[in-house]
Chain A
């Protein structure tokens, strides 16, 4: 059998694994966004305790390998919390990405001119109102490009979940190759799935950016 035939023949066997990759990535990103936003907000808050808890969290996550974090969730927390391997995987990914997303949000929130907060406060808004209605909408827009980048990293990082028995794309490639001795073909199929997903992510991000650009063109009065 030649290369193309093998690839075509085995691609359907990857579909459940591809679905798994997508699921843990999307759940990891979604919860990572919530964790990231919460962490960014507490990190810049005046609450000394919370700010330092956030700082510690970011320090721990960014300073250790994702693989270690996955092992920690799988071998330590899974037992004590009674998680499935699947939950351990996406939670570890969420906690991991949350730290990076927190830093993205913190950066863009702090990049908004101080005068915006002052103007909002000067008309009597509370700091959380001002944050929600004035600062975050502007910060969120600036966050789209770095977030898109982080999403792509998260997608590729999800392959590490293979180390904790999650049947995602890379583990599936390994398993099939162990049986059919066609490692190159299996890796090729896996690569194509990753490239397919990253292309979709990239396209989604630039579409969102374009849409927001259209909005800001409107804000600039260009359309």
Chain B
């Protein structure tokens, strides 16, 4: 589903990703953990080319993405949903319009159909009653669920989550994780950067530990959490658990 080989990304002189390989199978849930600045977000953003890597290849659904081909990248992005730490909802559009924006503008779906689609996904994240309000009226947890619905309305085959609950008050984290669990159960392929270790343990098929731009260790959650092999992962895990 996602095949990343030999990815290198630097910002100026700073090497942020170093020869990263990452395969994600269909319906797999991969959680990426690691210290701040280790390159987790950058890796995620290289998958949908919000960042352009200096070298390496990204294959999505078997298709090699040409980083110079804007059209190809835009098309790929319709298959790869992304959820951001700070939601990034469009403040000048209602909740419903936020969710309809992609289907109507990118896929060219007619309004009537797009509205049905949007309502379906808002129902799914349990926010249908907020369809006609503006994002600023929502709590953080509700905003993030709208953001998830907005991504899902494109009917992507992969979802990327970059610390979806890090900006939320503790009591709002649960509702977002709940939606994500539901998605995992339905077989959505997901790559998730998170610090929610309990969630990772419960939902992840595989956990990846990143350090200093490299994947240092990976494995099924129980192994990686209970019995980390690498000294850095040991240090990281003992610090946060």
Binding site for B on A (CB under 8 A): 113, 115-116, 118-126, 129, 133-134, 137-138, 141, 218-221
| A72-B223 Cα distance, complex, nearest whole Å | 77
Nearest B residue (CB) for A221: B137
Residues of B near A220 (CB, < 8 A) are: 134, 136-137
Contact B106 A125 (CB under 8 A): yes
Q: A122-B77, A124-B74, A221-B137 are in contact. Are A138 and B102 (CB under 8 A)?
A: no
Interface pairs (28), CB distance under 8 Å:
A116-B88, A119-B84, A119-B89, A121-B50, A122-B50, A122-B80, A122-B81, A122-B84, A123-B77, A123-B101, A123-B102, A123-B106, A123-B150, A124-B75, A124-B77, A124-B102, A124-B107, A125-B74, A125-B105, A125-B106, A129-B105, A137-B92, A218-B134, A219-B91, A219-B134, A219-B137, A220-B137, A221-B137
CA distance A13 to B134 in the complex (A): 53
Q: Nearest CB to that of A126 among chain B residues?
A: B74
A221-B134 contact in complex given A123-B102, A123-B150, A124-B154, C-beta closer than 8 Å: yes
Verify A125–B102 contact, CB threshold 8 A.
Answer: yes
A219 touches B102 (CB 8 A): no
Chain B interface (Cβ < 8 Å from any Cβ of A)? 48, 50, 70, 74-75, 77-78, 80-82, 84, 86, 88-92, 101-102, 105-107, 133-137, 147, 150-151, 154
A138 touches B91 (CB 8 A): yes
Interface pair B136/A219, CB less than 8 Å apart: yes
A122: nearest residue on chain B (CB-CB)? B82
Q: Bound state CA distance, A222 and B6, in angstroms?
A: 51
Task: Given A115-B84, A118-B50, A133-B105, answer yes or no on A123-B134 (Cβ-Cβ < 8 Å).
Answer: no
Q: Output the least CB separation between B169 and chain A (Å).
A: 19
Beyond the given pairs A116-B88, A119-B82, A133-B101, 13 more chain A to chain B contacts, judged by CB atoms under 8 angstroms and listed by A's residue number, are A115-B84, A118-B84, A119-B147, A122-B50, A122-B80, A123-B101, A125-B74, A125-B106, A126-B70, A126-B74, A129-B106, A219-B134, A221-B137
In the complex, A219 Cα to B101 Cα: how many Å? Answer: 17
Task: Kindly list chain A residues whose C-beta atoms are within 8 Å of the C-beta of B151.
Answer: 122-123
CB B145 to nearest CB in A, in angstroms, measures 15
Q: Measured between alpha carbons, how far is A27 from B27 in the docked complex, in Å?
A: 60
Complex Cα distance, B133 from A42, in Å, reads: 35
**In the complex with contacts A219-B136, A220-B136, A220-B137, A121-B88 CB distance below 8 A:** no
Closest residue of B by beta carbon distance from A117 = B88
CA distance A120 to B150 in the complex (A): 10
Alpha-carbon distance between A211 and B147 when the two chains are bound, in angstroms? 28
Top 5 A-B residue pairs of the complex, sorted by shortest distance between their CB atoms: A221-B137, A119-B88, A219-B134, A123-B102, A115-B88
Nearest-CB residue, chain A, relative to B99: A123
Which of chain A's residues has its CB closest to B92's CB?
A137
Query: Which chain B residue lies CB-closest to A137?
Result: B92
A134 to B89: give the CA distance in the assembly, Å: 10
Q: Which chain A residue shows the least CB distance to B91?
A: A219
Q: Which residues of A contact B75 (CB under 8 A)?
A: 124
Chain B residue at minimum C-beta to C-beta distance from A127:
B70
Docked pose: A115 CA to B144 CA in angstroms: 14
Give Cα A218 to B107, complex, Å: 29
